[in-house]
Structure 1
Amino acid sequence: MCGIAGILYKGSAAADARVGKALIDMLDACQHRGPDSTGFSLYRDPVPGHLRLRFIVGDGDEAKAAIERVKQKLTEFQAKIVEEEHKGSSFAVLVKFDGDLQKFAFEMEHAAKLSSIGESLDIIKDLGGAFDVDNVYKIDGFKGTHGIGHVRLATESDVAPEATHPFWATGFSDISIVHNGQITNYYKMRRRLEKQGYFFNTDNDSELIAVYLADKLKHGFTLKDALKTSIDDLDGTFSFLVSTKDEIGYAKDKLAAKPMVKYEDDKIIAIASEEVSLNRLFPGRALNTSEPAPGTYDTWQRSISA
């Protein structure tokens, strides 16, 4: 059992939207679904010609060595560091880079455990609850356009930052997913994607969803069409959220064993595992929520003016 949440602010509501605070509140409300770890995919307006990278580096001497390897590898790719930050078990850099993204991402994986790369995306994840992660990384102060998050009850892999959601697709910028459920044809699908040259960082079945969707986008699918095919191609029971730098979406398997509730008005679209998460956004208000039907999917785009 895990909990997922996502929010996208529309139009003028996206200006200085407190995405970080909204996701903290939503995830804290469903923390009972996953006390082991918490993660956030946060999206901000991109800086042209720049990429944001975040690594899991551990602590102490291990972290120092990993950070040094990261900096050496960045130098090899002539990626100039504009900003850097070391908090908790992660190290983040904003770099100037305009080369081959896939090759760059694969090589950076050899330096340290890479959480995310994006023009807009920053994945922050660690052990503990939503407020525990916020205490270290100051998620509350993040302002952006949209984001997704996850609370995890570890069932099939280690309780470790690298095994925590959200997951991104190595070699692709700005796509991330959070997932509640199980993909039962994981190994078959993974082998198929690996034969195409794709790389997996973990043995977590949720990472497969990110790589699968990224492959579809690479081959010209819209995000909505990719979500449509995922319902037939992925076996198992699942509800998941996906986000790119401009869109947020969901897919739900045909059995609908994993819960999902959504709320939409002219300012936001918010989706979560439980209604209590949506209520945190509007304390004291009765919300007109709905539950996506089995085997359904949808997407929402942020406005260009946002």
Structure 2
Amino acid sequence: MCAIAGLLFKNGKRRNFNMTTGAALTEILDATLHRGPDSAGWAIYREPLEAGTLRIRFLVSDGDKRAGEIEKIHQILAAQKAEIIREESLGCTYGVFVRYTGDILTLTHAAEKQVKMISVGASLDIIKDVGQPLDLSPRYGIRDFNGAHGIAHIRLATESGVHPDTAHPFWACGFADIATVHNGQLTNYWIMRRRLERRGMAFQTENDTELIAVYLAYRMSQGATLEDALKTSLEDLDGTFSYLVATKDAIGYAKDKLAAKPMVKYEDEDMIAISSEEVGLNRLFPGRALPTTEPAPLTYGLWSRS
């Protein structure tokens, strides 16, 4: 099961739409809660800070271990010459704003064996935790987020435990501002992972959704556009999947040839909204008959902020 959600406002316009971006994503997830009640997460894209500044978020423990883990994060960042200019302890996460002009993959390698980094970017901020979206949203201030776009996910655990680090979304380890959510299963996960690792890519989990993010980031690092990477993913990734990817200014999707994992979209001149089921989109426009469509098998698509 599991459910995905995505929302992008074109040109930043929100005519006749009175929800914040965070509230809308949360409503889509809540409407499809029967698909994944174990954990929830959001990849939200805030306005970038000044040049040379990154947002980094980590998972940290509750209780006595928390202070020690945050101190370890401080030491790692200092060793990599990443200067903390602001910090925030929120739920099971610890977020920092840093001045950093070095290589993100180098920073990731320095941190990956000691702490749990869950997002990096000029705009990207991933929030995820065990629990249901309506309970987690106020804890993390999700409804206050009103940026131009974001993606979200609820999970039904089938192959791994229920923990914050197994929740979606996943970022592209070592790359800024790339995140994915996914419904389905990749059957060539280990083949593709080993292939990417031989080319210098890093992984922080054994979740196949992380593979999608890293694959797309690698393809773009080799000169492909995001649209090109979405297209080749249909050839290179085996299994049943419907996934969403977000970057600092776009949302894309891809759907495998079997189309066993549902995805429904609504689009007008102002916005694109995506849900695993139509009931999620109906939550955004109560009482309206929406002209929704379901992407065909073996297709991909991309929507960008103008």
Shorter-chain TM-score tier: over 0.9
2:117 aligns to what SS in structure 1? strand
Name the residue aligned to 2:234: 231
Residue 45 of structure 1 is matched in structure 2 by 47
Task: Note the C-alpha offset of 1:145.
Answer: 1.1
State the one-letter code of the partner of 2:2: C
Q: Deviations over 1:167-217 (max 9, x none)?
A: 111100000000000000111111111111111111111111011000011
Residues in 2 aligned to 1:41 and 1:252: alpha-carbon distance in whole angstroms: 20
Give the aligned residue type for 2:160: S
Counterpart Cα distance in 2 of 1:79 and 1:252: 38
SS in 1 for 2:242: strand
Q: Give secondary structure in 2 for the equivalent of 1:203.
A: coil
How big is each residue's C-alpha offset from its partner over 1:84-138, in whole Å with a ceiling of 9 and x where there is no partner?
Answer: 1111111001111111121012212244101100000000000011012113111
Q: Deviations over 1:229-257 (max 9, x none)?
A: 11111000000000000110000000000
Which secondary structure does the structure 2 equivalent of 1:65 belong to?
A: helix
Q: Which of 77, 81, 89 is the aligned partner of 2:80?
A: 77
Q: CA RMSD in A?
A: 1.4
When the two structures are superposed, what TM-score results if normalisation uses the length of structure 2?
A: 0.96
Any unmatched runs of 5+ in structure 2?
none
Does 81-90 or 106-115 show the bigger shift?
106-115
Deviation at 1:14?
6.4
Q: 3-state DSSP class of the match of 2:13?
A: helix
Could you tell me which amino acid in structure 1 is paired with residue 292 of structure 2? T
Partner AA of 2:252 in structure 1:
G
TM-score normalized by the length of structure 1: 0.96
CA contact (8 A) 1:9 1:17 kept: no
Identity percentage over the alignment?
58
Partner of 1:13: 13
Q: Does 1:191 align with 2:194?
A: yes
Distance, in Å, in 1 between the alignment partners of 2:199 and 2:14 is 38
Aligned pair count? 303
Greater Cα offset, 110-119 or 264-273: 110-119
Rate the CA distance shift 1:12–1:91 in 2: closer, same or farther, 3 A: closer
3-state SS in 2 of match to 1:25: helix
Matched ranges for 1:196-235 at <5 A: 196-235=199-238
Partner of 2:131: 128
Residues 136-175 of structure 1 correspond to what in structure 2 (within 5 A)? 136-175=139-178
The change in CA–CA distance for 1:17 and 1:119 in structure 2 (over 3 A counts) is farther
Q: How does 1:53-72 map to 2 (within 5 A)?
A: 53-72=56-75
Shift in Å, 1:147 = 0.3
Q: Does structure 1 retain, via aligned residues, the 8 Å contact 2:38–2:157?
A: yes
**In structure 2, do the counterparts of structure 1 residues 92 and 14 end up closer, same or farther at CA, with 3 Å as the change threshold?**
farther
Q: Distance in 2 between matches of 1:85 and 1:152?
A: 26
Please give the alpha-carbon distance, in whole angstroms, between the structure 2 residues aligned to 1:281 and 1:184.
34
User: Aligned partners of 2:225, 2:19: CA distance in 1, in Å?
Assistant: 26
Unaligned 5+ segments in structure 1 are none
CA–CA separation in structure 2 for the residues paired with 1:25 and 1:147: 13
One-letter code aligned to 2:185 = Q
**Cα distance change, pair 14–215 in 1 and its aligned pair in 2 (3 A):** farther
1:30 and 1:167 map into 2 onto residues whose CA distance is 20
For 2:84 and 2:22, locate their aligned partners in 1 and report how far apart those are by CA, in whole Å.
25
- The alpha-carbon distance between structure 1 residues 294 and 265, as it changes in their structure 2 partners (threshold 3 A), is same
AA aligned to 1:281 is L
Is the contact between residue 165 and residue 178 of structure 1 (CA under 8 Å) also seen in structure 2?
A: yes
